[in-house]
Structure 1
Amino acid sequence: MPSGFLEHANITVSDPERSSALLQKLCGWHERWRGPSQLGGWTIHVGNDHDYIAVYTRDDGPVERHRKGAPLNHVGLVVDDLDAAEQVVVAAGLVPFNHADYEPGRRFYFFDWDGIEFEMVSYV
């Protein structure tokens, strides 16, 4: 049976610089690559040495917002210090919500500037 892991996710954002900076502060990640997309637009890959999120913007106008759950429910990110992650979210002017503490870990959610929902989780 094959085995696998998630190497990257590619999300469309209105400001890749802003989204990259937030993800770096939230997760201790670094910029892996940046440049023009093969299909037009601009992309920044931000993550660690094994996986990343590509934050992409088109060059043909503003990002279309979707209702929650269409086409994506949320992106879950694991951090070792959930309280510090929440401070980063608040400092960015975003609003944490739906705090919960149940097996297997503590969590909260927030929407970024483009309506993408993130779940922040800590298993510590």
Structure 2
Amino acid sequence: MPGQLEHVNYTVRDAVQTAKWLCELFDWQIRWQGPSLNDGHTVHVGSKSHYVALYNHGTPAPSQEDNYATIGGLNHIAVTVDDLDDTEQRVKAMGFTPQNHADYEPGRRFYFHDHDGIEYEVVQYD
């Protein structure tokens, strides 16, 4: 069996708040949460087999670099959905701005940035 991606861990301003809107938007569940490295707090949110680990530490410094121009930078996180149009409406209702819409083989997609400037790609495959 080939390796499978289990989770991605990234730093946010408020792990609890980010987990809340991710659960609402993608119908995810909180898998675990608690204290973590350097007196921080982590929330694992996602499905039974895949999740994102959201980490916050007191007052993390905002990114000073363009992630696409930085080795090791987080460019975006992609999530697949069954109904792209419905998800886009929910993204808008949460106050985020969908952008960079594209139809491509084999599906459709758009992107948005969250409150922390993290870019998400939302994809629906045909």
Same fold (TM over 0.5): yes
* Partner in structure 2 of residue 120 of structure 1: 122
Identity in percent: 49
Q: Does 1:110 align with 2:112?
A: yes
CA deviation digits over 1:32-66, x for unaligned, max 9? 0000013320011001110100111012x234224
> TM-score under structure 1 normalisation?
0.90
Instruction: State how far apart, in whole Å, the 1-side matches of 2:29 and 2:55 are.
Output: 16
* Partner in structure 2 of residue 5 of structure 1: 4
Q: Does 1:62 align with 2:60?
A: yes
Alignment RMSD, CA only?
1.5
CA deviation digits over 1:89-123, x for unaligned, max 9? 11111110011111111100001111111100001
Moved over 6 A (4+): none
* Partner in structure 1 of residue 18 of structure 2: 19
Displacement after TM superposition at 1:87 (Å): 1.6
Q: Any unmatched runs of 5+ in structure 2?
A: none
Bigger proportion of residues as helix = 2
